């Protein structure tokens, strides 16, 4: 972090599933923030993510988490739905940053942020604490939502597979069909021809 500059880290969770929203998060951390458990959320245990979430939410200068639903994912495609989610998460922050650190290699300017106001970083969630914190919030908020949806649609096992294309999930789609929470724009080869 450059001295005096307010940086927000941005990341998403849920690009690969067949069902559920993609969740995007943006986090501004204090300059001296450190926690030994903090890492790329995919490399952390569920227990460690659950420990870190309230710590990040209470100690961050600002944070925001935004879902982008299946219909919008189908309209935009998953990449640009993820980018749109990160842009919305930045706009939802209670403190507006001067600079954005984006996990990945794709982003685009939007209102208030031009090309010189953000940096894309491949594996940024393993490099910058603010991106890692955003990855933890995006992942835990998404998992929470998929567990909630699993109560409405228990046959799909979303409390276990979180909407990813596991054998269990694919078999459930074969038996029960698609729901309003499934993404219509892509599905695994095992389900071709489309069941829609």
Q: What is the pLDDT of residue 187?
A: 76
CA distance 174 to 181: 15
Q: CA 158 → CA 64, 116, 145, 150, distances in Å?
A: 24, 40, 10, 5
CATH H-level superfamily of 7-191: Ribonuclease H-like superfamily/Ribonuclease H (3.30.420.10)
Q: What is the pLDDT of residue 37?
A: 92
Tens-binned pLDDT, residue by residue, of the chain (196 aa): 566 789 999 999 999 999 999 999 999 999 999 999 998 778 899 999 999 999 999 999 999 999 999 999 999 999 999 999 999 999 999 999 999 999 999 999 999 999 999 999 999 988 999 999 999 999 999 999 999 999 999 999 999 999 999 999 999 999 999 999 999 887 777 776 555 4
- Strand boundaries in 34-106, DSSP class E: 62-68, 99-103
Domain residue ranges of the chain, discontinuous segments joined by +: 7-191
Q: What is the pLDDT of residue 118?
A: 97
Q: What is the pTM of this model?
A: 0.94
Q: What is the pLDDT of residue 2?
A: 61
Q: What is the pLDDT of residue 150?
A: 98
CA distance 79 to 61: 28
Residue recorded with tokens 């789609």: 173
Q: What is the pLDDT of residue 193?
A: 57
10 φ, ψ to 5°? -130, 140
Q: What is the pLDDT of residue 40?
A: 76
Q: Return the closest-CA partner of residue 132 out of 82, 158, 140.
A: 140
- Sheet of 22-28: strands edge to edge? 62-68, 22-28, 7-13, 99-103, 118-121
């Amino acid at each position: 972090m450059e001295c005096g500059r307010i940086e927000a880290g941005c990341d998403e969770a849920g690009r690969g599933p067949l069902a559920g929203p993609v969740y995007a998060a943006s986090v501004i951390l204090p300059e001296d923030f450190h926690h030994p458990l903090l890492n790329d959320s995919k490399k952390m245990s569920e227990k460690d993510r659950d420990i870190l979430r309230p710590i990040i939410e209470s100690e961050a200068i600002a944070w925001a988490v935004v879902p982008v639903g299946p219909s919008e994912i189908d309209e935009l495609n998953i990449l640009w739905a993820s980018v749109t989610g990160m842009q919305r998460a930045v706009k939802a922050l209670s403190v507006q940053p001067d600079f954005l650190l984006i996990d990945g290699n794709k982003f685009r300017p939007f209102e208030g942020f031009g090309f010189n106001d953000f940096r894309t970083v491949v594996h940024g969630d393993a490099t910058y604490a603010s991106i890692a914190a955003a990855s933890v919030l995006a992942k835990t908020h998404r998992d929470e939502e998929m567990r909630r949806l699993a109560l409405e649609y228990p046959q799909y096992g979303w409390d276990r597979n979180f909407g990813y294309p596991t054998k269990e999930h694919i078999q459930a789609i074969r038996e029960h069909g698609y729901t309003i929470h499934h993404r219509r724009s892509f599905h695994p080869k095992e389900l071709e021809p489309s069941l829609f």
